Amino acid sequence: MPDAIAEVRAELHALHRTLVDNGLVAWTSGNVSARVAPDLMLIKPSGVPYDELRPEDLVLCDLSGVAVTGTLRPSSDAASHGYVYRALPEVRGVVHTHSTYATAWAARGEPVPCVLTAMADEFGGEIPVGPLAPIGDDAIGRGVVETLREHRSPAVLMRNHGVFAIGDSPRAAVKAAVMCEDVARTVHLSRQLGESATLTAQTVDALHDRYRNHYGQGDA
């Protein structure tokens, strides 16, 4: 287990840099977590700048968000990440960002409509809006789970707050967060030109199925 956790620490450290490189976070905001055992996760410590973050700084927590080793306090979102892991056993990575365009949609309380083939591929429909929830306990996690259970999207815009994304790995969750910002920006720009062309439900279903089941190299 110690060696496995060390490997996840290195991966999470690199993924936090990916958030910075893609412009999804500012200063100390945002975080990535990973499930490392059925009842344990690693998450970014609270208030530590990205350029000072080290793999050994990532905090090992139980799924209530309570640190089980070390002296650094975990992210204020730890309880919500833990709630997601408790409620959705298949999830192994959770990401939170305040990326500019997606968070602008969250500030409006408006889902990003599925008007792009890339959205149909990755999200299987619109990127939904979750409820406004207080920070510091598991309320955000409850809103994330309740919202995503009604959608195929791996990302949710938490009202007046930002993006939460999930995946079967931390990397998959980060990918969903990156794609969420990309399509939020593109759909915003398209609105400046007028009405966007809609995709039919049948087209969305076909694109999502192709992407999930046939795109890429598979097991080859």
Are 95 and 32 a contacting pair, CB within 8 Å? yes
Q: Helix or strand or coil: residue 19?
A: helix
Q: pLDDT of 37-77, one tens digit each? A: 999 999 999 999 999 999 999 999 999 999 999 999 999 99
pLDDT at 220 > cutoff 50:
no
Q: What is the pLDDT, as a whole number, of residue 219?
A: 55
Q: What is the CATH number of domain 2-213?
A: 3.40.225.10
Which residues are bridge partners to 59 per DSSP? 43
pLDDT at 201 > cutoff 60:
yes
Question: Active-site residue 39, yes or no?
Answer: no
The one catalytic residue among 57, 121, 137, 205: 121
Q: What percent of the chain has pLDDT over 90?
A: 94
Q: What is the pLDDT, as a whole number, of residue 42?
A: 98
Q: Against a cut of 0.85, is the pTM above it?
A: yes
Question: Which parts of the chain fold into alpha helices (H)?
Answer: 2-21, 78-87, 100-108, 117-123, 139-148, 170-193, 201-213
Question: Active-site residue 83, yes or no?
Answer: no
Amino acid of residue 124: G
Q: What percent of the chain has pLDDT over 70?
A: 98
Q: Which helix (H) or strand (E) holds 191?
A: helix 170-193
Q: What is the pLDDT, as a whole number, of residue 72?
A: 98
The stretch 83-102 carries a mean pLDDT of 98
The stretch 84-91 carries a mean pLDDT of 98
pLDDT at 28 > cutoff 80:
yes
Which residues are bridge partners to 156 per DSSP? 164
Are 185 and 140 a contacting pair, CB within 8 Å? no
Q: Which of 98, 63, 103 is nearest to 84 (CA)?
A: 63
Confidence of residue 1 (pLDDT cuts 50, 70, 90): low
The stretch 142-170 carries a mean pLDDT of 98
Q: Where are the domains of the chain?
A: 2-213
* Average pLDDT score, the chain: 96
